[in-house]
């Protein structure tokens, strides 16, 4: 990204490589296959000796342009884009770990990631879920077989903030791969690299795309992990610059073998969305703080969970680490108010899944995205049946406050 500002760098990144006709956007390349005048070049591309494209499951010029943007935003060395955030998480873990390896995960997780890690546990990985708001809890479960630690920056939906920097130091000292899911903060609010992350996950569907019109995910290598010491890099990928071994294996094993490829038109939507990330995040964070502050003082609201509020247990940590407290908060209505009746009274705010959309969305999490995991696991994640999650959009703040006021009235 050099010395340029965040938004300047994204806006002009496509032009860092020549584009046909002087176009300002990278075009949407829909070709599945790529031909070569010299068949030896085709072989060289397959063998990793020449940069190029072979078959769209492993990438296209359009997905590469998006990957370059994400790499620049995260200040990393390389990125692999996937068809969804879940594809990025599944591929990263499956490409790097083997049966018997120990994965330590925060217990405060996006519901589908929690479900995925339970599947991996059944396949022979050993998974420990621990309270990641204190690095000591992670340290307490480490074993010689621990190869990876996985945390979210601000946990979905209860907004616990992981002990990001201390966990980074712990992983560095033990040579453990540290994976940080940056979806809730986005590289605009936080660079996991600064906390020692080896790999950064982003669901591009959320804040980076921003418009709720395309799915995508990415994993970025920050360049901090020494892959030359990692025992599970396949012989074929122990070639050239060791800094790229890990991400190369993720691209090959994850994208090529598992096939969670990102379509070119989705990549284009996401790249256009990324241009306004910083502007949208600023507005969405301001709206979240305004609404959370309003609701915390409201007699019909029992509790509000938002790292931007002083009442939040990790408020100071969030202030120290993040440029803003994010566009997501959750809250519980006072005893006796039905959460569905309340949601039905909202006029602007939409009852809907997704987050990081330009529109403000509300969802009763225990009954929807966290339904499958059961009451006991939900309680261990710190929330009960009445919790409502709000993802704030970029509407005018007064309209949002007025909508909540009338719905609570």
Ligand X SMILES: *Cc1c(COP(=O)(O)O)cnc(C)c1O
- Point out which residues bind ligand X (CB under 6 A): 84-86, 110, 113, 152, 156, 181, 183-184, 203, 205-206, 215, 217, 355
Distance separating alpha carbons of residues 290 and 296, to the nearest angstrom:
10
Question: Least separation, in Å, of the C-beta of 58 and ligand X?
Answer: 20
Q: Which is nearer to ligand X, 285 or 408 (CB)?
A: 285
Q: Which is nearer to ligand X, 388 or 407 (CB)?
A: 388
Q: Which residues contact 303 (CB under 8 A, 6 or more apart)?
A: 331, 332
Question: Least separation, in Å, of the C-beta of 179 and ligand X?
Answer: 11
Question: Least separation, in Å, of the C-beta of 152 and ligand X?
Answer: 5
Question: Least separation, in Å, of the C-beta of 370 and ligand X?
Answer: 12
Which among 43, 56, 29 has a CA at the least distance from the CA of 256?
Answer: 56
Do residues 273 and 208 make contact, with C-beta atoms less than 8 angstroms apart?
Answer: yes
Question: Least separation, in Å, of the C-beta of 260 and ligand X?
Answer: 9
**Around 289, how many Cα atoms within 13 Å sit in the side-chain half-sphere?**
15
Q: Which is nearer to ligand X, 53 or 108 (CB)?
A: 108
Which among 322, 98, 347, 81 has a CA at the least distance from the CA of 218?
Answer: 81
Residue 217 φ then ψ, to 5°: -150, 165
* Tokens, residue 401: 């406050």
Question: Least separation, in Å, of the C-beta of 407 and ligand X?
Answer: 25
Q: Which is nearer to ligand X, 61 or 209 (CB)?
A: 209
Distance separating alpha carbons of residues 16 and 24, to the nearest angstrom:
11
Question: Least separation, in Å, of the C-beta of 217 and ligand X?
Answer: 5
Distance separating alpha carbons of residues 111 and 340, to the nearest angstrom:
21
Q: Which is nearer to ligand X, 183 or 284 (CB)?
A: 183
* Tokens, residue 23: 């176009």
Question: Least separation, in Å, of the C-beta of 206 and ligand X?
Answer: 6
Q: Which is nearer to ligand X, 76 or 217 (CB)?
A: 217
3-state secondary structure of 18: coil
Which among 74, 73, 71, 90 has a CA at the least distance from the CA of 82?
Answer: 90
Q: Among positive and negative, which fits the CA dihedral 304, 340, 356, 163?
A: positive
Q: What is the DSSP string of 158-213?
A: T-PBP-HHHHHHHHHHHT-EEEEE-TTTHHHH--GGGGT-SEEEEETTTTTT-SSS
Question: Least separation, in Å, of the C-beta of 272 and ligand X?
Answer: 17
Count CB atoms within 10 A of the CB of residue 13: 23
Question: Least separation, in Å, of the C-beta of 283 and ligand X?
Answer: 19
Distance separating alpha carbons of residues 84 and 401, to the nearest angstrom:
32
Which among 168, 236, 170, 220 has a CA at the least distance from the CA of 196?
Answer: 168
Do residues 327 and 392 make contact, with C-beta atoms less than 8 angstroms apart?
Answer: yes
């Amino acid at each position: 990204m050099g010395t340029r500002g965040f938004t300047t760098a994204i806006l002009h990144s496509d032009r860092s490589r020549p584009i046909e006709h002087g176009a300002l956007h990278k075009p949407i390349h829909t070709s599945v296959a790529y031909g070569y005048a010299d068949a030896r070049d085709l072989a060289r591309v397959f063998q990793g000796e020449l940069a190029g494209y072979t078959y769209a499951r492993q990438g296209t010029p359009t997905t590469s342009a998006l990957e370059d943007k994400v790499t620049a935003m995260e200040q990393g060395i390389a990125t692999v884009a996937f068809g969804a955030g879940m594809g990025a998480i599944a591929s990263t873990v499956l490409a790097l770990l083997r049966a018997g390896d120990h994965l330590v995960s925060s217990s405060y997780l996006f519901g589908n990631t929690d479900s995925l890690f339970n599947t991996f546990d059944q396949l022979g990985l050993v998974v420990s879920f621990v309270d990641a708001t204190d690095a000591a809890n992670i340290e307490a479960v480490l074993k010689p077989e621990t190869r990876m630690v996985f945390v979210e920056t601000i946990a979905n939906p209860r907004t616990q903030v992981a002990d990001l920097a201390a966990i980074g130091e712990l992983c560095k000292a033990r040579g453990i791969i540290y994976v940080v899911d940056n979806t809730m903060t986005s590289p605009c609010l936080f660079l996991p690299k600064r906390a020692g992350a080896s790999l950064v996950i982003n669901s591009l569907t959320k804040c980076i795309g921003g418009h709720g019109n395309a799915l995508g995910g990415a994993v970025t290598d920050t360049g901090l992990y020494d892959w030359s010491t990692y025992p599970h890099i396949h012989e074929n990928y122990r070639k050239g610059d060791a800094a790229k071994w890990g991400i190369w294996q993720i691209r090959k094993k994850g994208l090529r073998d598992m096939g969670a490829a990102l379509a070119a038109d989705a990549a284009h939507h996401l790249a256009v969305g990324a241009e306004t990330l910083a502007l949208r995040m600023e507005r969405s964070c301001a709206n979240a703080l305004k609404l959370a502050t309003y609701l915390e003082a409201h007699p019909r609201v029992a509790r509000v969970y938002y790292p931007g509020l002083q009442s939040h247990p990790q408020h100071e940590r969030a202030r120290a680490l993040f440029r803003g407290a994010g566009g997501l908060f959750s809250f519980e209505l006072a005893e006796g108010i039905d959460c569905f009746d309340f949601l039905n009274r909202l006029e602007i705010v939409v009852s809907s899944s997704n987050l990081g959309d330009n529109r403000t969305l509300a969802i009763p999490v225990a009954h929807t995205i966290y339904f499958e995991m059961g009451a006991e696991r939900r309680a261990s994640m710190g929330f009960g049946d009445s919790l409502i999650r709000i993802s704030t959009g970029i509407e005018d703040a007064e309209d949002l406050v007025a909508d909540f006021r009338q719905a609570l009235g």
